[in-house]
């Protein structure tokens, strides 16, 4: 019984570290690419955005009190696992930069290279 308890505690602790690591990388990516003072979750979704984008993973980015862009925090499947990524947009929802934050596979890390991700810059 005690062994099961410790396993559950370690699993919970492990997930909390991963979640903290993800959020740290997310905010670092935004701060690197935008001069930000505040990151605020959007409360309303524009009808022109894809249905997959929800207020829990689309963030407005403010600097000096004005909106300067958006950031989308997503999760996508890889061969056997999932990876976390961020896509940063300007005010017109044009991709400014994308970054793979956490990749959990031994193969396929090339999708996280800026050389490959650069092809999406400027897309809407």
Encode pLDDT of 78-103 as tens digits.
888 999 999 999 999 999 999 999 99
Least confident range from 19-28, 39-48, 104-113: namely 39-48
Q: Rounded mean pLDDT of the chain?
A: 76
> 3-state DSSP call for residue 30?
helix
pLDDT at residue 121, rounded to an integer: 93
pTM, two decimal places: 0.73
Torsion angle, CA of 41/15/95/88, rounded to 10 degrees?
Answer: 50
pLDDT at residue 13, rounded to an integer: 34
H or E element in which residue 88 lies: strand 82-89
How far, in whole angstroms, is CA 49 from its chain's centroid?
17
Q: Give 38 or 23, the one with higher predicted confidence.
A: 23
Q: What token pair was written down for 31?
A: 């701060």
pLDDT at residue 97, rounded to an integer: 95
Q: Give percent of the chain with pLDDT exceeding 90.
A: 25
How far, in whole angstroms, is CA 7 from its chain's centroid?
29
């Amino acid at each position: 019984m005690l062994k099961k308890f410790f396993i559950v505690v370690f699993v919970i602790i492990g997930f909390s570290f991963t979640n903290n690591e993800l959020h740290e990388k997310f905010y670092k990516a935004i701060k690197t690419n935008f001069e930000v003072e505040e990151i605020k979750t959007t409360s309303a979704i524009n009808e022109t955005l894809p249905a997959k984008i929800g207020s829990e993973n689309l963030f407005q980015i403010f600097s000096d009190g004005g909106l300067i862009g958006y950031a989308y925090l997503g999760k996508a499947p890889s061969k056997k696992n999932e990876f976390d990524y961020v896509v940063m947009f300007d005010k017109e929802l044009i991709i400014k930069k994308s970054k793979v934050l956490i990749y959990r596979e031994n193969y396929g890390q090339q999708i996280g290279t800026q050389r490959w991700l650069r092809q999406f810059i400027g897309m809407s």
